[in-house]
Protein backbone atom coordinates (compact mmCIF):
# COMPACT_ATOMS: atom_id res chain seq x y z
CA UNK A 1 0.00 0.00 0.00
CA UNK A 2 1.28 3.46 -0.91
CA UNK A 3 1.05 5.53 2.22
CA UNK A 4 -0.34 9.07 2.26
CA UNK A 5 2.08 11.72 3.49
CA UNK A 6 1.02 13.89 6.42
CA UNK A 7 1.95 17.25 7.89
CA UNK A 8 1.09 17.76 11.56
CA UNK A 9 1.02 21.49 12.24
CA UNK A 10 1.49 22.21 15.93
CA UNK A 11 3.04 18.84 16.72
CA UNK A 12 4.41 19.73 20.15
CA UNK A 13 1.04 20.58 21.69
CA UNK A 14 -0.72 17.82 23.58
CA UNK A 15 -3.02 17.04 20.66
CA UNK A 16 -0.20 17.19 18.12
CA UNK A 17 1.90 14.81 20.17
CA UNK A 18 -1.02 12.40 20.34
CA UNK A 19 -1.47 12.59 16.56
CA UNK A 20 2.19 11.84 15.89
CA UNK A 21 1.93 8.85 18.22
CA UNK A 22 -1.20 7.46 16.51
CA UNK A 23 0.20 8.00 13.01
CA UNK A 24 3.34 5.98 13.84
CA UNK A 25 1.20 2.84 13.67
CA UNK A 26 -1.16 3.84 10.85
CA UNK A 27 -1.09 1.43 7.88
CA UNK A 28 -1.95 4.09 5.29
CA UNK A 29 -0.44 7.37 6.53
CA UNK A 30 2.98 8.54 7.66
CA UNK A 31 4.15 11.82 9.15
CA UNK A 32 6.44 13.70 6.74
CA UNK A 33 6.45 17.06 8.50
CA UNK A 34 5.88 17.94 12.15
CA UNK A 35 5.98 21.59 13.14
CA UNK A 36 6.96 23.55 16.21
CA UNK A 37 7.84 27.22 16.45
CA UNK A 38 9.80 26.87 19.69
CA UNK A 39 11.46 23.50 19.00
CA UNK A 40 12.30 23.79 15.29
CA UNK A 41 15.42 21.78 14.52
CA UNK A 42 14.99 19.42 17.45
CA UNK A 43 14.24 15.72 17.02
CA UNK A 44 10.66 14.46 16.99
CA UNK A 45 10.66 11.72 19.60
CA UNK A 46 9.90 8.26 18.25
CA UNK A 47 10.54 9.25 14.62
CA UNK A 48 13.44 10.13 12.31
CA UNK A 49 12.05 13.64 11.83
CA UNK A 50 13.05 17.04 13.13
CA UNK A 51 10.55 19.77 13.87
CA UNK A 52 10.25 22.59 11.35
CA UNK A 53 8.37 25.86 11.53
CA UNK A 54 4.85 25.85 10.12
CA UNK A 55 5.67 28.51 7.53
CA UNK A 56 8.46 26.30 6.17
CA UNK A 57 6.21 23.33 5.34
CA UNK A 58 5.56 22.95 1.59
CA UNK A 59 1.86 22.27 2.09
CA UNK A 60 1.24 21.25 -1.52
CA UNK A 61 3.75 18.40 -1.17
CA UNK A 62 1.74 16.35 1.31
CA UNK A 63 -1.53 14.46 0.94
CA UNK A 64 -3.22 15.54 4.15
CA UNK A 65 -2.68 18.18 6.82
CA UNK A 66 -3.71 17.97 10.48
CA UNK A 67 -3.81 21.54 11.77
CA UNK A 68 -3.39 21.68 15.56
CA UNK A 69 -2.30 25.29 15.77
CA UNK A 70 -3.82 27.82 18.19
CA UNK A 71 -7.38 29.04 17.64
CA UNK A 72 -7.32 32.05 15.33
CA UNK A 73 -4.20 30.82 13.53
CA UNK A 74 -4.98 27.24 12.56
CA UNK A 75 -7.82 28.00 10.15
CA UNK A 76 -5.68 30.21 7.90
CA UNK A 77 -3.16 27.40 7.40
CA UNK A 78 -5.97 24.93 6.80
CA UNK A 79 -7.58 27.09 4.13
CA UNK A 80 -4.21 27.69 2.44
CA UNK A 81 -3.50 23.95 2.36
CA UNK A 82 -6.98 23.19 1.06
CA UNK A 83 -6.63 25.78 -1.69
CA UNK A 84 -3.36 24.07 -2.66
CA UNK A 85 -5.32 20.87 -3.27
CA UNK A 86 -4.49 19.12 -0.01
CA UNK A 87 -6.98 17.35 2.25
CA UNK A 88 -7.21 18.95 5.69
CA UNK A 89 -8.50 18.15 9.16
CA UNK A 90 -8.50 21.30 11.29
CA UNK A 91 -8.53 20.63 15.04
CA UNK A 92 -9.08 24.22 16.15
CA UNK A 93 -12.38 26.03 16.52
CA UNK A 94 -11.71 28.20 13.46
CA UNK A 95 -13.75 26.27 10.88
CA UNK A 96 -16.40 24.57 12.99
CA UNK A 97 -19.15 26.92 11.85
CA UNK A 98 -18.63 25.76 8.24
CA UNK A 99 -16.09 28.37 7.14
CA UNK A 100 -14.58 27.67 3.71
CA UNK A 101 -17.11 24.86 3.30
CA UNK A 102 -15.62 22.71 6.05
CA UNK A 103 -17.65 19.67 7.11
CA UNK A 104 -18.17 19.19 10.84
CA UNK A 105 -16.92 15.73 11.68
CA UNK A 106 -18.39 13.51 14.36
CA UNK A 107 -18.35 10.21 12.45
CA UNK A 108 -20.94 8.43 14.60
CA UNK A 109 -23.47 11.18 13.82
CA UNK A 110 -22.54 12.37 10.32
CA UNK A 111 -20.25 9.73 8.86
CA UNK A 112 -21.67 9.92 5.34
CA UNK A 113 -21.18 13.70 5.29
CA UNK A 114 -17.48 13.31 6.13
CA UNK A 115 -16.70 10.43 3.78
CA UNK A 116 -14.69 11.65 0.79
CA UNK A 117 -14.63 15.30 1.90
CA UNK A 118 -11.46 17.37 1.49
CA UNK A 119 -11.86 19.81 4.41
CA UNK A 120 -13.16 18.73 7.81
CA UNK A 121 -13.45 20.65 11.07
CA UNK A 122 -12.72 18.34 13.98
CA UNK A 123 -15.19 18.94 16.85
CA UNK A 124 -14.26 20.25 20.26
CA UNK A 125 -13.77 17.77 23.07
CA UNK A 126 -16.67 18.96 25.23
CA UNK A 127 -19.17 19.09 22.31
CA UNK A 128 -18.17 15.60 21.16
CA UNK A 129 -19.37 13.97 24.38
CA UNK A 130 -22.42 16.19 24.78
CA UNK A 131 -23.69 15.65 21.23
CA UNK A 132 -23.05 11.90 21.30
CA UNK A 133 -24.85 11.58 24.62
CA UNK A 134 -27.89 13.67 23.70
CA UNK A 135 -28.34 12.68 20.04
CA UNK A 136 -30.17 9.38 20.68
CA UNK A 137 -32.51 11.03 23.19
CA UNK A 138 -33.37 13.92 20.88
CA UNK A 139 -33.86 11.72 17.81
CA UNK A 140 -36.12 9.38 19.79
CA UNK A 141 -38.30 12.32 20.89
CA UNK A 142 -37.56 11.78 24.59
CA UNK A 143 -36.36 15.29 25.46
CA UNK A 144 -38.83 17.89 26.74
CA UNK A 145 -37.83 20.94 24.71
CA UNK A 146 -39.66 23.29 27.04
CA UNK A 147 -36.99 23.01 29.72
CA UNK A 148 -33.19 23.45 29.48
CA UNK A 149 -30.72 20.58 29.63
CA UNK A 150 -28.24 21.25 32.46
CA UNK A 151 -24.69 20.19 31.64
CA UNK A 152 -21.83 19.98 34.15
CA UNK A 153 -18.63 19.02 32.32
CA UNK A 154 -15.22 18.43 33.87
CA UNK A 155 -11.94 18.14 31.96
CA UNK A 156 -8.37 17.30 32.77
CA UNK A 157 -5.87 20.14 32.50
CA UNK A 158 -4.48 19.05 29.11
CA UNK A 159 -7.74 20.33 27.66
CA UNK A 160 -6.40 23.85 28.19
CA UNK A 161 -3.42 23.24 25.92
CA UNK A 162 0.32 23.28 26.60
CA UNK A 163 0.91 27.02 26.79
CA UNK A 164 2.22 27.98 30.21
CA UNK A 165 -0.39 29.85 32.26
CA UNK A 166 -0.37 30.54 35.99
CA UNK A 167 -3.85 29.10 36.62
CA UNK A 168 -2.75 25.72 35.21
CA UNK A 169 0.41 25.30 37.28
CA UNK A 170 0.51 22.18 39.45
CA UNK A 171 0.40 24.26 42.61
CA UNK A 172 -2.77 25.99 41.39
CA UNK A 173 -4.79 22.94 40.28
CA UNK A 174 -3.66 20.19 42.67
CA UNK A 175 -6.27 19.32 45.33
CA UNK A 176 -8.70 21.80 43.79
CA UNK A 177 -11.81 21.65 41.61
CA UNK A 178 -13.41 24.71 40.07
CA UNK A 179 -15.86 25.94 37.46
CA UNK A 180 -14.81 28.38 34.76
CA UNK A 181 -16.45 30.26 31.86
CA UNK A 182 -19.74 29.81 33.74
CA UNK A 183 -23.07 31.21 32.56
CA UNK A 184 -22.83 29.85 29.00
CA UNK A 185 -19.70 31.94 28.42
CA UNK A 186 -17.46 29.13 27.09
CA UNK A 187 -16.40 29.25 23.43
CA UNK A 188 -17.92 25.82 22.86
CA UNK A 189 -21.46 27.01 23.59
CA UNK A 190 -22.11 28.11 20.01
CA UNK A 191 -20.75 24.83 18.68
CA UNK A 192 -22.90 22.80 21.07
CA UNK A 193 -26.01 24.77 20.08
CA UNK A 194 -25.34 24.33 16.37
CA UNK A 195 -24.80 20.59 16.81
CA UNK A 196 -27.97 20.14 18.83
CA UNK A 197 -29.94 22.09 16.22
CA UNK A 198 -28.58 19.86 13.48
CA UNK A 199 -29.52 16.75 15.45
CA UNK A 200 -33.01 18.10 16.14
CA UNK A 201 -33.48 19.16 12.55
CA UNK A 202 -34.50 22.64 13.66
CA UNK A 203 -34.45 24.61 16.86
CA UNK A 204 -31.92 23.33 19.38
CA UNK A 205 -33.01 22.42 22.92
CA UNK A 206 -31.95 25.07 25.41
CA UNK A 207 -29.04 24.15 27.66
CA UNK A 208 -26.79 25.53 30.38
CA UNK A 209 -23.16 24.49 30.00
CA UNK A 210 -20.78 24.78 32.96
CA UNK A 211 -17.23 23.48 32.45
CA UNK A 212 -14.98 22.55 35.36
CA UNK A 213 -11.25 21.97 35.69
CA UNK A 214 -10.27 18.59 37.10
CA UNK A 215 -6.90 18.16 38.85
CA UNK A 216 -5.95 15.30 36.49
CA UNK A 217 -3.96 15.25 33.25
CA UNK A 218 -6.58 13.97 30.83
CA UNK A 219 -10.16 12.81 30.48
CA UNK A 220 -13.62 14.41 30.40
CA UNK A 221 -16.69 13.49 32.45
CA UNK A 222 -19.94 15.20 31.46
CA UNK A 223 -23.02 14.96 33.67
CA UNK A 224 -26.23 16.02 31.94
CA UNK A 225 -29.62 16.52 33.56
CA UNK A 226 -32.12 15.91 30.76
CA UNK A 227 -35.83 16.82 31.11
CA UNK A 228 -37.95 14.05 29.61
CA UNK A 229 -41.36 14.10 28.02
CA UNK A 230 -44.16 12.66 30.14
CA UNK A 231 -44.10 8.87 30.08
CA UNK A 232 -40.43 8.53 29.13
CA UNK A 233 -37.91 6.96 31.47
CA UNK A 234 -34.42 5.59 31.80
CA UNK A 235 -35.32 2.35 30.01
CA UNK A 236 -36.37 4.22 26.87
CA UNK A 237 -33.18 6.28 27.01
CA UNK A 238 -30.94 3.22 27.27
CA UNK A 239 -32.86 1.48 24.48
CA UNK A 240 -32.62 4.50 22.16
CA UNK A 241 -28.90 4.87 22.82
CA UNK A 242 -28.19 1.16 22.33
CA UNK A 243 -30.19 1.18 19.10
CA UNK A 244 -28.45 4.23 17.64
CA UNK A 245 -24.92 3.08 18.45
CA UNK A 246 -25.25 -0.64 17.80
CA UNK A 247 -22.07 -1.79 16.07
CA UNK A 248 -20.18 1.45 16.66
CA UNK A 249 -16.58 0.50 17.54
CA UNK A 250 -15.94 3.49 19.80
CA UNK A 251 -19.23 3.87 21.69
CA UNK A 252 -19.91 1.84 24.83
CA UNK A 253 -23.47 2.09 26.17
CA UNK A 254 -23.79 0.97 29.77
CA UNK A 255 -26.91 -0.54 31.23
CA UNK A 256 -29.39 1.17 33.53
CA UNK A 257 -27.82 2.72 36.66
CA UNK A 258 -24.26 2.00 35.43
CA UNK A 259 -22.32 5.24 35.03
CA UNK A 260 -18.89 5.64 33.41
CA UNK A 261 -15.69 6.95 34.94
CA UNK A 262 -12.49 8.34 33.45
CA UNK A 263 -10.77 4.99 33.95
CA UNK A 264 -13.13 3.48 31.38
CA UNK A 265 -11.85 5.71 28.58
CA UNK A 266 -8.50 7.40 29.27
CA UNK A 267 -5.86 6.63 26.60
CA UNK A 268 -8.53 5.18 24.28
CA UNK A 269 -10.79 6.45 21.51
CA UNK A 270 -13.88 5.19 23.33
CA UNK A 271 -16.88 7.12 24.56
CA UNK A 272 -18.76 5.54 27.48
CA UNK A 273 -22.38 6.56 28.05
CA UNK A 274 -24.47 5.76 31.11
CA UNK A 275 -27.96 6.69 32.32
CA UNK A 276 -29.81 6.80 35.61
CA UNK A 277 -33.29 7.81 36.69
CA UNK A 278 -33.69 10.83 38.98
CA UNK A 279 -36.14 10.35 41.84
CA UNK A 280 -37.77 12.87 44.13
CA UNK A 281 -38.49 15.45 41.43
CA UNK A 282 -41.86 16.54 40.09
CA UNK A 283 -41.15 16.25 36.37
CA UNK A 284 -39.41 13.29 34.68
CA UNK A 285 -35.66 13.82 34.65
CA UNK A 286 -32.84 11.67 33.32
CA UNK A 287 -29.20 11.63 34.30
CA UNK A 288 -26.92 11.03 31.30
CA UNK A 289 -23.20 10.71 32.00
CA UNK A 290 -20.58 10.62 29.24
CA UNK A 291 -16.85 9.93 29.58
CA UNK A 292 -14.12 10.30 26.96
CA UNK A 293 -10.43 11.12 26.63
CA UNK A 294 -10.08 14.76 25.62
CA UNK A 295 -6.86 14.11 23.66
CA UNK A 296 -7.99 10.98 21.80
CA UNK A 297 -11.72 10.84 21.01
CA UNK A 298 -11.92 14.52 21.91
CA UNK A 299 -9.15 15.46 19.47
CA UNK A 300 -6.46 13.32 17.79
CA UNK A 301 -8.26 9.97 17.63
CA UNK A 302 -11.39 11.50 16.16
CA UNK A 303 -9.24 13.47 13.70
CA UNK A 304 -7.76 10.20 12.45
CA UNK A 305 -11.28 8.71 12.22
CA UNK A 306 -12.24 11.64 10.02
CA UNK A 307 -9.08 11.35 7.93
CA UNK A 308 -9.74 7.63 7.41
CA UNK A 309 -13.18 8.46 6.04
CA UNK A 310 -11.75 11.19 3.83
CA UNK A 311 -9.10 8.88 2.38
CA UNK A 312 -11.22 5.74 2.04
CA UNK A 313 -9.57 3.68 4.79
CA UNK A 314 -11.33 1.58 7.38
CA UNK A 315 -12.51 4.02 10.01
CA UNK A 316 -10.58 2.21 12.74
CA UNK A 317 -7.27 2.14 10.82
CA UNK A 318 -4.37 3.11 13.03
CA UNK A 319 -6.59 3.73 16.05
CA UNK A 320 -7.56 0.23 17.09
CA UNK A 321 -10.71 -0.62 19.00
CB atoms within 10 A of CB 204: 18
CA distance 288 to 135: 11
State which H helix or E strand residue 59 sits in: none
125 is catalytic: yes
Q: Between β-strands 119-121 and 87-90, what pairing exists: parallel, antiparallel or unpaired? A: parallel
Instruction: Of 294, 134, 92, 138, give the one whose Cα is nearest residue 212.
Output: 294
Q: What CA–CA distance (Å, rounded) separates 276 from 237?
A: 9
Q: Measured between alpha carbons, how far is residue 35 from residues 24, 109, 159, 281 in Å? A: 16, 31, 20, 53
Give the integer Cα–Cα distance in Å for 132 and 251. Answer: 9
Query: How big is the CA angle at 22 (ends 107 and 90), to the nearest 5 degrees?
Result: 50
Residues recognised as catalytic: 125
Amino acid sequence: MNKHSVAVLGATGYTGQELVRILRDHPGMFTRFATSEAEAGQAVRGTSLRYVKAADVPLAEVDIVFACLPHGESGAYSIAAHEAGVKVVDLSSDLRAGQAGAEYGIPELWRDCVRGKTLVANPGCYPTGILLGLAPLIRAGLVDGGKPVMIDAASGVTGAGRTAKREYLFGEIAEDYRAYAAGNAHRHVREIGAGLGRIAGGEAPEFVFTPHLLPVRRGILETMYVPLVVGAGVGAAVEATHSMYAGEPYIEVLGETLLPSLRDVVNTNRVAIGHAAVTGVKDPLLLCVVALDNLVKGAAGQAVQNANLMLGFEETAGIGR
